[in-house]
Chain A
Amino acid sequence: MGIQFVQCLVWSLKKQWRIAVVEMISRYMGWPWMLGILICANTMQAAVLWSDLGTTLVHDTGVGFDILGGAVKEDDSFTNTLYFKVHVDPLSDASTEEYFAAFELYEGDKERLGIGNALKAWAYSAFRADANGESHEGSDYIDLHSSRPEPSTPGTSVIYENPHRGIECTIVFKVQYVLGGDDLVTVWLNPDLGPGATEGAQPESLITRFNANASFNEIHLRHGGGGDGWIFSDMAIATSFGDFVALNSDESGLANRGLGSREPLVTFRCWQSEQGLPQDHVRALAQTSDGYLWVGTDDGVARFDGVRFVPFGLPEGLPSGPVRTLFGDSHGTLWIGSVGEGLIRWQAGQLTTFTMADGLPSDSVSALAEDNEGRLWIGTDAGLALWQDGHLTTFKAAGEFKGKAIAALFKDRRGDMWLGATGVGVFQFHAGEFIPLQDAAIKELLQDPHCLLVDKAGRIWIGAGDDFVLCRDGNQWRPHQIPRHLARSYVSSLAEQPDGTVWAGSASEGLFEFKDGKLVSVNASSGLSDNSVESILVDRDGNLWAATDAGLNLLRQKDLFAFDQRQGLGYGAVAGLAEIAPGVVWVGKPSDGLYRWDGRSFSRLMSADISIIGQQINALLVSKDGSCWVAGRQGLLHFKAPTKTANKAELFSLPGFNIIALGEDRNGRLWAGTHEGELWRLENEKWQAQTNLVHPITTIVAGADGMMWIGTEGDGVYKFNGGVRAHWGTSNGLLTDLVRTLYLDSEGSLWIGTAGGGLSLWRQGRMTTFTAREGLPDNTISEILEDDKGRLWLGSDRGIGSASKRELEELAAGKISAISPQVFGRAEGMLSEECAGGFCPAGLKTTSGQLWFPTLKGVVVVDPRVHLSKLPISTVLLEQVLVDGVPNPLFTVTHPASGAQGEKLKSTESQAGVLRLGPGKHRIEFQYTALDFDAPERIRFRYQLEGLDSDWVEAGNRRVAFYSYVPPGNYRFHIIACNADGLWNETGATLGLTVSKYFWQNWWFIGLSSLTLLVLVGGGVRFIVKRNLQRRMEHLEQEGALERERTRIAQDLHDEMGAKLCRISFLSEHARRSHDVSSELQHQIVSISDTSRDVLQSLDEIVWAVNPQNDMLEHVASYLGHYAQEYFQETGIECKVDIPEQLPPYPLSSQVRHHLLLAVHEAFTNALKHSRASQINIILIYDGSAVEIVVSDNGDGFDPPVIDPQSVDAAGATCNGLRNMYRRMIDIGGRCLIDSQPGRGVTIRFVLPLDHPKGKW
């Protein structure tokens, strides 16, 4: 053990040193010298003699070619032992096609030994050549033993493993060279190369031994036959097994974050025609100074803002045809170089085309660049031209390129211009002269340049020839050859990222990243839409764009990795995770046992004891002392030293119980919770029952001061310390009692993940709950992990969501109504979005900061460090304003901003102009955008039309603001945007808007017209009222006049006649007195006198009735009384009158008075004439609703006949009189009631109802 340790240490030191030496040598002396050094290195112990850590795809290679380059060789004269390692990723699948692939040792052109897949073999196999050095690709082959053999039918046992597409495999083989004869070969198929692994400890099941002649001086990677080939990677030749064993995973690989050397760390976001790209064949890329990205296709250009492509082509005046190159200069102009149509300049919406007629050397423009003086260098198929101060020109030195095709132009950081011309060479323009680059070794290549780049470090890169990238570092040229499988895989473009990484795009092999001195392929297997890259561009934010035959691509750092059987994890869900050593993770699966991750791949843990607890592993816990507890269905295992495999483990089973949760308290004691609800504590290696909570215990978390927080599936959260101290359930604010996980953070807040009830936070005595409504990806939270930047990562049933704790606390405080977490789902690479839960610990945060989530299909690892905080979005633009559906020509931004405006746009304030609209009802649509390519769909906008909107309108990621009616006035439209991190660019873009009024909308007009209206209305009302009043007055006057007329007539009548009648009265009296009048005459005179007095009386009554002054009930009553007394004064009938002293002022019309009095008079007359009564009583009764006049006498009485007012009865005056009375009362709306019996007197009642206080006028 110790020796191994030392060996490893020495190896690692030497490795570093060795690589440095090799680098130095290769830089200065070239490849052949490496051999010498390495041969010396051969004699050292435990050394890696050769390695190729990159990936190489081999397909249909035929014989192939040497990859060693002479680094190592062995022949019969050597007696040492060499170890070989190769990692394969088969794309061909034996089950579908017949093929062979091999890592083959050659001696010269003679085949010796091939390891891989023999042509006739199904399984991983080795094949040997015959004496002649031919192997016929494996006619004699040996199947390699495997520890993960193919599933076999019962009865047979298979020990071989077939190469499967997608399932990678590491092969290590050792050759012990024997003098003169066949060498001893030992092959390990997928050995354990984790820390501490040794050659001797490898299981026999994966070892194959045979003899073969393995002399070699070349190694070919070969493939032939069907399928897509194999990918070989991570190849090495070393002197000991231990050279391949990882010391610790972080160093074992490259600086690839321990996520497997084979894992692509990048992924691509692609845009094709489905996403709006006008044409899938993108040929050129450029970015203009305003921030827009422009793509050139076969038919014009399109402008991209991250979300939307706006194409421009023939309709806009662009000439048809493919675009060859695009360039955005410092003035904001877009230059388009076409194939055969010349050079097009697009500035401020204006298109200008320049062709040969204008002085261009050729109509096919191939390259564009701008120098420090602001001049545009134009490279064409027939020479170089210059655009200076507004016109085309050329310069003397360019004459040497006349007629030559300029392939590339480049301006380096210092401002020097570089030029590559086909057939001529590569030149640097310095002090007015073109200085050619010269190098004998690569002279031919230099004559065929395709693209140029001078990086930050000053290295010159040239994509040249058919498949080379030349790199000049200092004074040394180093050619890099890209592996090619098709004819033309030349490098079409080069670009450099801000961190110095250089990328090359090839015409058929995808992208290559220059890393550690080698070109590393990043192609379709990493997500690039197509391997034929026409152009690449690094934008001003540092993003790498690749234009391919099948769409536009954007390079992204992968931050989520999904591991499943392809990495060796096997099928199915994952439960417990534990980091037993930095970078080494144990994975427990409920159906498949225990696996170990060593930084590159997974391997099954074969410790004998594991089978005791069965295949169902629920939970893993690494305790403070470094030991690991493994809880399975059938028991609990304790590994005291988990870093050593095949270590014995102690068993602490709880028979009959299914432990699903493990926790550790402050004192290091283990707590276990079972599916049956039992809580146990391990004390001095004995289980002590704590309590039974009935429901499954899904999570145990140690809190401060000895308190244990227990989460159950069905009964909420308990606080336990010796006994149950507290309990939280649905009554305390949890939405459900099904608790899945708990997390206690450093501030003491308890985060509770539930099944279906979202996430709850118990903080400062308050429980707040968040659900999908507040922005959580799902309501079932199974994992809560916190990264180093204060963000919570939640594993849910619909992916993983991450939100900052600060944002969640703001949500709890009510300051915001929802959060927008970053969500990872299938689109980001998860194979299953459902995170597994219901056990503890759930999820893992490694010492390196990675977050591991168990899912239903393997494990997902998220690296939160990838997500760097970014600056707020710098450019917010108003793209277009549509008024009533028509783009307003006064304000369109369909062009790269021009001239002075271009400078303004560089700042954050943009386009402060004013749009004026005429009067009327307008529908206005503002189309805006923000130029940010990192996560454009997560950009959120807010806009406000100041003057109409009282506050900001949250537009989400909508890029249109729509107003259906804008009333006249002055407004300002303001738009701001925030990036995915929630940082707002507060300035944004603004636009003034003025809508003028119709003249009739002006305030003075409205005021005036309202006033006029009011006046009219008022006047009208008054007029009508007055007229009505007048009419009434007239009416009344008329009535009054009538009344007065009547009265006057009556009075006149009365006066006239009254006086005269009085005279008659007096005269007759006088006559009577005279002596010589006989008594008879006296009687007659008296009669005359009496009659005239009667007439006067009658007249008196009439006048009284007509007199409007007697219009009240009061008058009638008093008159009646007086009248009755007078009537019966001399008659001998005693008259008793009874009238109420007070009567209300009830008006009675003259008609009523007239009829009433005459009726009563009739009654009097009857009584006087016919009744022979001695007494008569007249009573007036008023009861509020009617007036009743009762005339009763004590006379003879009579039998009252039935009065029929209609019949004309000749039965006498009595009847007539009665009929009269009756009729008169009816006429005035009253009635007359006669009650009499012979001998009992007569009682006549005159009833007059009073309808309403106003009476009848």
Chain B
Amino acid sequence: MITVSIVDDEKELCHSIETFINGSTGFRCVSSYHSGEAALKHLPQDRPDVVLMDIHLTGISGIECVERLKVMMPEMQVMMLTVYEDTDQIFKALSAGASGYMLKRLTPAKLLEAIREVHKGGSPMSGPIARKVVASFQGAGRTNDEKTLLSSREKMVLECFAKGLTYKQAADLLSISIDTIRTYVRRIYEKLHVQSRTEAVAKYMRH
């Protein structure tokens, strides 16, 4: 049973998704919130397995919410929901600590699959995101932290995605399993998260 919590400021949609999840076997929606503040207040108590968070929230933004949530509950899996694929925002969310993202227009079946994925530990990577990640890491020569540098394998994986390959295609190309790919992706995101956090701290320190 995977427990899910939804944070979305569109009440009707929220309700729809909630209903849907509850109607799906193996899933249970434990709570739903309509604002980031509320989520932050109550999620630590709910302790769901996965949090579905809309990027665009009134008040505190979803990205910032994720950030704060990850500080409070680092092991929490947050999946960003977004109406349209704003790579920039998604990237920011991933950097902030989100484990994955999902388009709201995905088929509901897909939605469930994605939740399962995130719960398992995978993170989604797509071409655009990969390219953004590449760009970010290129710019991150500033910190010599080993934790933020990508290994060569990770780099290769990233390149595959940047070129537009799918998970399967990348796995075929690199002669590794899809699961391994997923692991790499997760690690990449972790490093990205660390890097972005470090940057934030650094920025904070500078001022």
Instruction: Name A residues whose Cβ lies closer than 8 Å to a Cβ of B.
Output: 1054-1055, 1058-1059, 1061-1063, 1065-1067, 1069-1070, 1073, 1089, 1093, 1096-1097, 1099-1100, 1103-1104, 1107, 1109, 1114-1115, 1118-1119, 1121-1122, 1124-1125, 1135-1141, 1178
Contact indicator B163/A1141 (Cβ below 8 Å) = yes
Contact code string B91-133 (vs A, CB < 8 Å = 1, else 0): 0000000000000110111000000000000000011100110
Question: Which chain B residues in 52-93 approach chain A with CB under 8 Å?
Answer: 56, 83-88
Minimal beta-carbon separation of B88 from chain A (angstroms)? 6
B127 touches A1122 (CB 8 A): yes
Query: Judging by beta carbons under 8 Å apart, are A1058 and B105 in contact?
Result: yes
Chain A residues lying within 8 Å of B137, measured Cβ to Cβ, are: none
The answer on a CB contact under 8 Å between B126 and A1063 is no
Instruction: Known contacts A1055-B83, A1136-B169, A1138-B163; decide if A1063 and B105 are in contact (CB<8 Å).
Output: no
Partner of A1125, one of B84, B86, B126: B126
Which of A1055, A1062, A1109, A1115 has the most C-beta atoms of chain B within 10 angstroms of its own C-beta? Answer: A1062
A-B interface, 4 closest residue pairs, ranked by CB to CB distance from nearest: A1137-B164, A1121-B164, A1118-B128, A1066-B16
Q: Which of B181-199 contact A (CB under 8 A)?
A: none
A1058 touches B16 (CB 8 A): no
The secondary-structure label for the interface of chain B is helix
B23 proximity list for chain A (CB < 8 A):
1070, 1073
Contact call A1137/B105, Cβ cutoff below 8 A: no
Cα of A1138 to Cα of B85 in the assembled complex, Å: 20
Asked whether A1141 lies within 8 Å of B162 as measured between CB atoms, the reply is yes
Q: Given A1058, A1061, A1107, A1122, which contacts B126 in the complex, CB threshold below 8 Å?
A: A1122
In the complex, chain A residues whose CB is within 8 Å of the CB of B159: 1141
In the complex where A1073-B23, A1118-B87, A1136-B169 touch, is A1125 in contact with B164 (Cβ < 8 A)?
yes
Chain B residue with minimal CB distance to A1121? B164
Q: Is B178 an interface position by the 8 A CB rule?
A: no
Q: List 13 A-B contacts (CB under 8 A).
A: A1054-B84, A1061-B105, A1062-B16, A1062-B83, A1063-B13, A1069-B107, A1069-B109, A1089-B107, A1118-B87, A1118-B131, A1122-B164, A1138-B163, A1138-B164
A1058 touches B164 (CB 8 A): no
CB A162 to nearest CB in B, in angstroms, measures 132
Question: In the bound complex, do residue A1121 and residue B16 qualify as a contact, i.e. CB atoms below 8 Å apart?
Answer: no
CB-based contact A1119/B128 at 8 Å: yes
Give Cα A1065–Cα B85 distance, bound, in whole angstroms.
17
Complex: chain B residue closest to A1135, CB-CB: B166
Partner of A1104, one of B85, B105, B108, B163: B85
From A1059, A1089, A1107, name the one whose CB has the most chain B CB atoms within 10 angstroms: A1059
How far apart are B129's CB and chain A's nearest CB, in angstroms? 8
Report yes or no: A1066 in contact with B163, Cβ–Cβ below 8 A. Answer: no
Cβ-based interface call for B171 (8 A)? no
The chain A residue with its CB closest to the CB of B24 is: A1073
Is B105's CB under 8 angstroms from A1062's CB? yes
A1073 to B88, CA, bound (A): 35
Give B192 Cβ to nearest chain A Cβ, in Å: 17
CA distance A1135 to B83 in the complex (A): 24
State whether A1125 and B166 are in contact (beta carbons under 8 Å apart), knowing that A1058-B104, A1062-B83, A1109-B88 are contacts in the complex.
yes
Q: Does A1062 contact B104, Cβ atoms closer than 8 Å? A: yes
Contact, CB under 8 Å: A1070 / B88: no
Shortest distance between the CB of B114 and any CB in chain A (Å): 13
Contact (A1065, B105) CB under 8 Å given A1121-B128, A1125-B127, A1141-B131: yes
B13–A1069 CB distance below 8 A:
no
Q: Which of B13, B86, B134, B166 contacts A1066 (CB 8 A)?
A: B13
List residues of chain B with CB under 8 Å of any chain A CB: 10, 12-13, 16-17, 19-20, 23, 56, 83-88, 104-105, 107-109, 126-128, 131-132, 134, 159, 162-166, 169
Shortest Cβ distance from residue A1134 to the other chain B in the assembled complex, whole angstroms: 8
Residue pair A1139, B127 in contact (C-beta under 8 Å): yes
CB neighbours of A1138 from chain B (8 A) = 163-164
Which chain B residue shows the least CB distance to A1117?
B131
A1099 to B83, CA, bound (A): 10
Shortest Cβ distance from residue B148 to the other chain A in the assembled complex, whole angstroms: 20
* Residues A1065 and B131 in contact in the complex (CB < 8 Å), given A1073-B23, A1100-B84: no
Residues of chain B lying within 8 A (CB to CB) of residue A1100: 84-85, 105
Chain B residues with CB under 8 A of A1104: 84-85
Known: A1115-B87, A1125-B127. 14 other contacts (CB 8 A): A1058-B84, A1058-B104, A1059-B13, A1061-B105, A1062-B104, A1065-B105, A1066-B19, A1093-B105, A1109-B88, A1118-B132, A1122-B127, A1136-B165, A1138-B163, A1139-B162
- The answer to whether A1114 touches B19, judged by C-beta atoms less than 8 angstroms apart, is no
Pick the contact of B164 from A1059, A1062, A1065, A1178 — CB < 8 Å? Answer: A1178
Closest to A1129 in B: B166
Q: Which residues of B contact A1073 (CB under 8 A)?
A: 23
Q: What separation, in Å, do the CA atoms of A1065 and B81 have in the docked complex?
A: 15
A-chain residues with CB within 8 Å of residue B83 when the two chains form the complex: 1054-1055, 1058-1059, 1062
Q: Are A1137 and B108 in contact (CB under 8 A)?
A: no
A645 to B23 alpha-carbon distance, docked (Å): 171
Chain B residues whose C-beta falls within 8 Å of the C-beta of A1065 in the assembled complex: 105, 107-108
Please give me the residue from chain B that is nearest to A1137 by CB atom: B164
Contacts of A1122 in B (CB 8 A): 85, 126-128, 164
B55 to chain A, nearest CB (A): 12
A491 to chain B, nearest CB (A): 125
Chain B residues in 8 Å Cβ range of A1135: 166
Residues in A with CB closer than 8 Å to B134 are 1141
Contact check, A1118 vs B127: say whether CB atoms are below 8 A apart.
yes
CB distance A1063 to B88 under 8 Å?
no
Closest to B19 in A: A1070
Q: Which residues of B contact A1118 (CB under 8 A)?
A: 87, 127-128, 131-132
B104 smallest CB distance to A (angstroms)? 4
Cα-based distance from A650 to B149 in the complex (angstroms)? 130
CB proximity of B41 to chain A, nearest CB, Å: 24
Q: Nearest CB to that of A1125 among chain B residues?
A: B166
B24 to chain A, nearest CB (A): 8
A971 CA to B169 CA, complexed, in Å: 99
Tell me if A1070 and B16 are in contact (CB < 8 A).
yes
Q: Are B20 and A1066 in contact (CB under 8 A)?
A: yes
Tell me the complex Cα distance, A909–B163, Å. 104
Q: Which residues of A contact B131 (CB under 8 A)?
A: 1114, 1118, 1141
Separation in Å of the A1090 CB from the closest CB of chain B? Answer: 8
Closest partner residue, chain B, to A1110 (CB atom): B87
Contact of A1063 among B16, B56, B164 (CB under 8 A): B16
B109 → A minimal CB distance (Å): 8
Collect the chain B residues with CB atoms within 8 Å of residue A1061's CB. 105
Closest chain B CB from A1046 CB (angstroms):
15
Docked Cα-Cα span, A393 to B85, in Å, equals 134
A1115 shortest CB reach to chain B, Å? 8
Q: How far is B109's CA from A911's CA once the two chains are assembled, in angstroms?
A: 122
Chain B residues with Cβ below 8 Å from A1125 are: 126-127, 164, 166
Q: How far is the CA of A578 from the CA of B105 in the complex (A)?
A: 139
Q: B107–A1137 contact, CB under 8 A?
A: no
Distance of A1066 Cα from B12 Cα, bound (Å): 11
- Contacts A1059-B83, A1125-B166 given; indicate if A1066 touches B108 (C-beta within 8 A): yes
* Chain A residue at minimal CB-CB distance from B132: A1118
Among A1099, A1114, A1119, A1121, the one with the most B-chain Cβ atoms within 10 Å of its Cβ is A1121
When distances are taken between beta carbons in the complex, the residues of chain B under 8 Å from A1059 are 10, 12-13, 83, 104
CB atoms of A1070 and B164 under 8 A apart: no
Q: Given the complex, which residues of A lie within 8 Å of B169, measured CB to CB? A: 1136
Chain A residues with Cβ below 8 Å from B107 are: 1065, 1069, 1089, 1093
For the complex, what is the distance from the CA of A1124 to the CA of B86, rounded to whole Å?
16
Bound complex: CA A1178 to CA B131 (Å): 17
